[in-house]
Amino acid sequence: MKERVLYGRCGWGSAIVELQLAWYGLPFRFEDTGDLLDSEDARARLRPLNAIAQVPTLVLPSDAGEAVVMTESAAITLYLADLTGRGDLVPGPEAPERAAFLRWLVFLVANIYPTFTYADLPGRFVTAGGDEAQKAFRAEVDAYGRRLWGVVETAAGGPWLLGSRMSALDFYAAVMTRWRPGRAWFAQHAPRVLAAADAAAALPACAPVMARNFKA
């Protein structure tokens, strides 16, 4: 594999990695996976690279015969910072913001992100009780997600999530605030999170990526 390939879907979590690749100026090819929620064929095509058929899935350039695959957006975030030797999106080991960055990066991917995994298709997890049980499950998970965003809002600085400095956390927010519970909710209940998200989305390197992923 001589080129970097990002497997993803417009508007999905792959946009978080796409923003970072664009920011760093790293060349890549985008491969649309199709709808991994609704299509078993799409999942089957991705499984050879990612056993759980999720995005982002990033295939790295390699001189070896086998593809080198990375999954998990947080791992990719740290890898890209190491690859480029830059600290603009990931504070370096000696940076005073390093501990907070790592804390909230893991918080986003370990706590908030799974609420979409569970609630997008509740039938995968609620197999008894029919539609009503699935609707109730989704409502509870979505409510839990809103509470988690409230935790982030309480800790958010300004103008960026870490305060005076931008980071990859703001790229996460730029994408994730386009999902449930929606921008109107963020404007009312998490305005600092939304302000950081919108500031990141408007950066010259990021605006074209956001426009491609979130067409009006």
Q: For residue 216, is pLDDT > 90?
A: no
Domain 98-203 has CATH 3.30.420.40: no
Beta-sheet pairing, 57-60 with 68-71? antiparallel
Mean pLDDT of 185-210: 98
| Spans of all domains in the chain | 5-89+209-213, 98-203
Query: Residue 197 and residue 132: Cα distance in Å, rounded?
Result: 34
pLDDT tens-digit series, residues 50-92 = 999 999 999 998 877 677 999 999 999 999 999 999 999 999 9
The CATH architecture annotation of domain 5-89+209-213 reads 3-Layer(aba) Sandwich (3.40)
Q: Which of 5-9, 12-16, 110-114, 119-123 has the lowest mean pLDDT?
A: 119-123
pLDDT above 70 coverage of the chain, percent:
99
Query: Residue 196 and residue 200: Cα distance in Å, rounded?
Result: 6
**Confidence class for position 1, pLDDT limits 50, 70, 90:** low
Strand extents, DSSP E, the chain:
5-8, 29-32, 57-60, 68-71
**Confidence class for position 48, pLDDT limits 50, 70, 90:** very high
Of 39, 73, 82, 75, the C-alpha closest to 55 is: 73
Given a contact cutoff of 8 angstroms between Cβ atoms, the answer to whether 174 and 206 are in contact is yes
pLDDT tens-digit series, residues 105-145 = 999 999 999 999 999 989 888 998 889 999 999 999 999 99
Output the six-digit token pair for 20.
């970072």
Of 22, 168, 37, 38, the C-alpha closest to 104 is: 168
